[in-house]
Amino acid sequence: MANSGIISFLVFLSVLLLGFALTKPAMDNYMDTYSVRVKKRNEKEIESQEAPKSSAMLILFEALGKQLITVAPFLVDKRTVELLSYANYRTKQHLHRYMGIKVAVGVFCIFWGVCAAISNPVNILTSVFTILIGWTIPNFFLAGRAKQRQTQIIKELPTVLDLLIVTSQAGLSLLAGVDKLSKETVESCPLLALELQQLINDVKMFAKSVPVAMREMGERCGVEELINMASGLIAAESKGADISYPLRQQAEALRDRLKRKQEEIAAKVPVKMVPVIMLFVMPLILLPMLGPAGLTIVSALGPSMGGGTK
């Protein structure tokens, strides 16, 4: 009985963690879409998202991850590095801490497996599934964070494109316009303002052109729209054409895409409401209507069905 209870608890914990990991990206998207900020963002708040926070547990995770990478560097795959870059975790400390978190979750799952195998060693086989789930759960959170950040960048991009068009028509160069926008859009477009500041640093430190640095910014963020915009700017720059035209085309295409996406979401709402209506609304409507008729039928048929048993 004790072994079956431990196995049941492990299975329940695995299903609970898996369900939470699968639903977290949807909940984060919902909160990002419908939440309202009551406090303005400031520069310290934005910078705090970039600098790794320090605490005793995070330092422990960093040490575990650093040791793991030293012993088994093959565990750090290309997809993990890309997701960390998309989620704006781009330092070695972020990578070490992320791998340390995966190690900690995996050790916790191994501990539960050992506890289940104390009385019966065969039960250790049942914990393999739990260990695999524990190792992959951080990936769901990281992918959700990266997706949320990419969605927010796409929402901010049309505003930045319109402002770039205004600066180019006002006579500013592309570099001067990007530099000005990186300082003026901190409140309205915080994520893109931060990326534009990184773009300016790349241009000044490595002597890159703005379109090339913008393409690298798109690859760093994992946003295809930024890469397409950089390609249009590179083509316009090579031909000596006005950069406002490709920017205007990109802004119109992006707004049209966002509009179609919102229309698709609105079209799916009636379909998603059908299970809710069937489970929660229809019983409340049918019970008052059919309840009295059912009681009348039961009271009428009861004596006749019970009378033949004498």
Residue 70: inside a domain: yes
Q: Is 235:249 a contact under the CB 8 Å cutoff?
A: no
Q: Tell me which residue of 129, 60, 128, 127 sits closest to 99, measured CA to CA.
A: 60
Q: What is the pLDDT of residue 131?
A: 75
Calpha distance 142→291 (Å, rounded): 50
Domain boundary among 145, 163, 185: 145
Domain boundary among 258, 284, 302: 258
**Beta-carbon contacts of residue 98 (< 8 Å; ≥ 6 apart):** 65, 80, 84, 89, 138, 142
Domain boundary among 96, 116, 145: 145
Calpha distance 213→235 (Å, rounded): 14
Are both 79 and 172 inside the same structural domain? no
Residue 38: inside a domain: no
**Beta-carbon contacts of residue 179 (< 8 Å; ≥ 6 apart):** 200
Are both 55 and 132 inside the same structural domain? yes
**Beta-carbon contacts of residue 82 (< 8 Å; ≥ 6 apart):** 222
Are both 135 and 249 inside the same structural domain? no
Residue 59: inside a domain: yes
**Beta-carbon contacts of residue 68 (< 8 Å; ≥ 6 apart):** 75, 99, 100, 103
Residue 36's CB is within 10 A of a number of other CB atoms, namely: 4
Are both 208 and 95 inside the same structural domain? no
In which residue are the tokens 């809710």 written? Answer: 276
Are both 122 and 227 inside the same structural domain? no
Q: What is the pLDDT of residue 212?
A: 86
Are both 178 and 135 inside the same structural domain? no
Calpha distance 158→248 (Å, rounded): 9
Domain holding 194, by residue range, is: 154-258
Are both 50 and 130 inside the same structural domain? yes
Which stretches of the chain score pLDDT less than 70? 1-54, 116-117, 119, 121-124, 126-127, 305-310
Domain tally, the chain: 2
Residue 139: inside a domain: yes
Residue 131: inside a domain: yes
Q: What is the pLDDT of residue 236?
A: 78
Are both 17 and 122 inside the same structural domain? yes
Q: What is the pLDDT of residue 146?
A: 92
CA distances from 201 to 43, 47, 70, 178 (A): 17, 16, 31, 11
Question: What global pTM score does this model have?
Answer: 0.69
Are both 9 and 120 inside the same structural domain? yes
Are both 7 and 109 inside the same structural domain? yes
Residue 70's CB is within 10 A of a number of other CB atoms, namely: 9
Q: What is the pLDDT of residue 104?
A: 85
Residue 54: inside a domain: yes
Are both 178 and 227 inside the same structural domain? yes
Rg for the chain (alpha carbons), in Å?
A: 28
Q: Is 133:163 a contact under the CB 8 Å cutoff?
A: no
How is 86-98 classified by DSSP, letter by letter?
Answer: HTT--SHHHHHHH
